[in-house]
Amino acid sequence: MIDATTGAILDANHAAELAYRYTREELLGKTIFDMRVESAAAVGEQMRIADADGTLFETMHRRSDGSTFPVEVSSRGDYLDGRRVLFSIIRDITARRELEALRDEFLVLASHELRTPVSNIGLRLQQLVRNGERGGTLERALSDARLALEELRRLTHLVDTLLDAQVARGQIELVRTSLELGSLVRTVVERHRGHAERLGSALAIDTVEVTGSWDRMRLEQVMTNLITNALKYGAGKPVRVAVTTTGDEARIEVHDGGIGLERGDIEKIFRKFGRAASTNYGGFGLGLYVVRKLVEAHGGAIEVASTPGQGSTFAVRLPR
């Protein structure tokens, strides 16, 4: 509560103490001008509008340590014991601003990442049409078609990752059935063999027979994201996939000999929109976040061992 004429703070609740980091007694010794970063004239004009008609606006306030934070202010004037006062509700909107900034960054990233494969597919199809109109060779047509399909695969993966990230926001429902994990992993590896060859990477796999109760579709997505990640950052080096078992636990390892990770980036890459600071390879920063959520939904865990310039090994542990 603020004096409508002088701006003196007349009352403040405990939330205000926490937000401004002053005691209530300290707050009652200050004016609203002390808490604002704008000029006194600008603050005075907002007080006048609030007193006359009520107002809702966003601004910056100052804490006791001098730091500032964004707030939403709802204020209206009224009489209290014959005195004109402003009843103000002030909300700290720091978290909201951070989410808005994250959203804006994501929209820019998503539009760029999705536009690139769409544009490339359009280009390849145009070349395919021109090749047909000019009586071009079948070999050239097949080459353009294969490149268009490769871009379509990339686009599909980006869309799938977005959809999986949306699912991972809430409770993930698993459809568990008895699965042989080695067979599932070999199937996913074979799906990526053609893509690996085009990147110059050899795909090697070593599995043992491991049966457990898992969700086939979710584990296929885990493997798809891990292999895609290994090929993307593997610098054309061989990628090795292994399935082993120890007691009541199955273990999947995906190793690449690529660019590796700095120690400070390891935790970051499993967060939503998290990407290694040292890389500039595109993508949404969602693939490994989705992997972590799906693995944890199975009661498992994922970890990574990495050395910059020597590659990374992602290891998934799954209870059987």
- For residues 103-128, average pLDDT: 70
Q: What is the pLDDT of residue 99?
A: 80
68-80/83-92 β-pairing = antiparallel
pLDDT of 21 higher than 70: yes
Give the tokens for residue 207. 């599995």
CA-derived radius of gyration, the chain: 29
pLDDT of 156 higher than 80: no
**Separation of alpha carbons 155 and 188, rounded Å:** 18
Asked if 233 contacts 259 with a C-beta cutoff of 8 angstroms, the reply is yes
8 forms beta bridges with 31
Q: What is the pLDDT of residue 210?
A: 94
DSSP 250-300: EEEEEEE-SS---GGGTTGGGSTT---TT----S-S-HHHHHHHHHHHTT-
- For residues 93-117, average pLDDT: 72
- For residues 76-84, average pLDDT: 94
96-168 domain in CATH 1.10.287.130? Answer: yes
Assign domain 2-92 to a CATH class.
alpha beta
Q: What is the pLDDT of residue 162?
A: 65
Pinpoint the residues of the chain covered by CATH 3.30.450.20.
Answer: 2-92
Pinpoint the residues of the chain covered by CATH 1.10.287.130.
Answer: 96-168
How many Cβ atoms from other residues are within 10 Å of residue 273's Cβ? 14
Question: For 176-319, which CATH superfamily applies?
Answer: Histidine kinase-like ATPase, C-terminal domain (3.30.565.10)
**Separation of alpha carbons 20 and 57, rounded Å:** 18
Express each pLDDT in 304-318 by its tens digit.
999 888 999 999 999
Give the tokens for residue 298. 């199975």
Express each pLDDT in 239-271 by its tens digit.
999 999 998 999 999 999 988 888 877 777 887
Which position has the higher pLDDT, 5 or 108? Answer: 5
**Separation of alpha carbons 307 and 260, rounded Å:** 5
Alpha helices, H only, the chain? 14-20, 24-27, 32-35, 40-53, 94-133, 138-168, 181-191, 193-199, 216-233, 287-297
> Phi and psi at residue 83, in whole multiples of 5°?
-115, 135
- For residues 263-287, average pLDDT: 68
Q: What is the pLDDT of residue 309?
A: 87
Express each pLDDT in 195-239 by its tens digit.
888 889 999 999 999 999 999 988 988 998 899 889 988 888 999
Percent of the chain with pLDDT over 70: 86
pLDDT class of 192 with cuts at 50, 70, 90: confident
**Separation of alpha carbons 52 and 254, rounded Å:** 66
Q: Is 73 helix (H, G, I), strand (E, B) or coil?
A: strand
Which position has the higher pLDDT, 170 or 192? Answer: 192
pLDDT of 91 higher than 60: yes
**Separation of alpha carbons 239 and 313, rounded Å:** 10
- For residues 52-59, average pLDDT: 93
